[in-house]
Every structure is written in structure tokens, then in C-alpha cells.
Amino acid sequence: MTSPAVVDLLGLLAYGELASFGHMAADAQNAPSLYDKAQMSKFATVEHDNYNSICARLTALGVDPITAMQPFSTALDAYHAQLIPSNWLEGLVKSYIGEGIAADFYREVSKYLDKETAELVEEVLTDRGLADFAIERIRQACDGDSVTAGRLALWGRRMMGEMIAQAGQVATHRNALAELFISSEPNELSAEDVTGLVNRLTVGHARRMDVLGFAS
């Protein structure tokens, strides 16, 4: 029998990839150049390919992908609704930082998965050039423009707060998923577990903000 925790993780990851596909495809339409449009379209395609791979794994496990994704749609939709980019640069920061935080969260959980599922998760989380592209474009836009840099830095910090709230909500309300990485009693997420997870996610976020030249 397939572990409920595995189904939860794959369902969460599948919906995350599907949502990222839609947002990156939309960002491609707002790109300032044909090259940027082509690059963002390529990254969106990668997200959709990842979504298909996860759905195939769920199907192989005898689980309907839509059913697996359903419990997480509200939380992820709420996150995206709170962070609607006002321009292409904000969308790019959201993709780079948001994808990074999400990847850190999934890796925290996937280390306790069976080998085949863990390898799939790692494959899906592998960066295909988005980080380098985003870093280059964001740095170019901020070079000599303190107003843009300050605005994007605030946007990046806000994103961390929203994602931490989302991660806490998911972990607290999905006991099977929480059991993958907590060290306390079954079905109970302790304050220490939450604090440790948040601290590790925060460190990763600070590193990405520093790479962009933003004070985290």
C-alpha cells in the first residue's frame, strides 16, 4: 500500500509545478525582449514536463493525480493570490526565490522517502537554467538603480513571509506529510520542529537574496 505521506508530497509537488507552469507562461508574455520571452517559455515547459512526470508516478502508484493535488490547491492558490507581480521583474524574482524556497522545503521532506520517489523529486527539483537567467536579468536591472533594487528586495522579503506561512499551514494540517520530517510524536508537529524547518528555509532564502545583491 502506498504511504499517505508519499501521496501527499507528490500531490503537493505536482500542483506546485502546475501552478508554476501557468505563472511562468504568463510572465513570458510580459518579457521585455524576444529572447526573454523564449527563455521564460522554455522554463515554463520544464515545469509542465515535471508536472507530467509526477502525475505518471502517482498513476503508477494507483493514485489519481487530481485527487492527490486537491488538498493543496487552496493553500497554493492563496499564496499566489497574495503575491501577484506588478511587472516582469517582480515575476522573475518570484520565480527565482519562490522556486528556491519551495525546493528547499521539498528536499527537507524527500530525504525520508523511498529511493524511487526521492530520485523523482530530486530530478524535478533540478534547476534547468532558471536561476542563472534570473540572477543575470535582476542584477542588470538593479545595477545603478537603487529604487528598483530596493523595491525588489522588499518584494523578496515579503515572499519569504508568505511562503513560510504556507509551509507551516501545509505541515500542520497534513499529518501524514508532517510525519516524514518531524522527530516528535506521530501526528504531532512540535514547536521545535517548526522552528528548525523555518530556520533552515530562512538561511536558504538569505543566501539567494545575497546572490541578487539584496540585504536579506
70 or 197, higher pLDDT? 70
Diameter of the chain measured on Cα atoms: 58
Q: Region 48-54: what's the mean pLDDT?
A: 97
Structural domain span for residue 141: 4-212
**SS3 readout for 42-88:** HHHHHHHHHHHHHHHHHHHCCCCHHHHHHHHHHHHHHHHHHCCCCCH
Side-chain half-sphere of 17: how many Cα atoms within 13 Å? 28
User: What are the pLDDT digits (tens) for 103-128?
Assistant: 888 887 777 778 888 899 999 999 99
Number of structural domains (the chain) is 1
pLDDT value at residue 39 = 96
Q: Is the pLDDT of residue 138 over 90?
A: yes
Distances (CA, A) of 114 to 109, 111, 179: 11, 8, 14
Indicate the pLDDT class of residue 58, thresholds 50, 70 and 90. very high
Selection from 70, 59, 28 nearest residue 46 by Cα: 28
Q: Is the pLDDT of residue 26 over 80?
A: yes
Q: Region 148-171: what's the mean pLDDT?
A: 82
Q: Region 151-166: what's the mean pLDDT?
A: 85
Side-chain half-sphere of 170: how many Cα atoms within 13 Å? 32
User: What are the pLDDT digits (tens) for 70-103?
Assistant: 998 988 898 888 889 999 999 999 999 988 988 8
Indicate the pLDDT class of residue 166, thresholds 50, 70 and 90. confident
pLDDT value at residue 64 = 97
Residue 167: DSSP 8-state: H
Q: Region 176-184: what's the mean pLDDT?
A: 56
187 or 55, higher pLDDT? 55
Indicate the pLDDT class of residue 53, thresholds 50, 70 and 90. very high
117 or 177, higher pLDDT? 117
pLDDT value at residue 182 = 54
215 or 97, higher pLDDT? 97
- The H-or-E segment that residue 189 falls in is none
Whole-angstrom Cα distance, residue 110 to residue 165? Answer: 20
The mean predicted confidence, pLDDT, of the chain is 86
| CATH, residue 37 | 1.20.1260.10
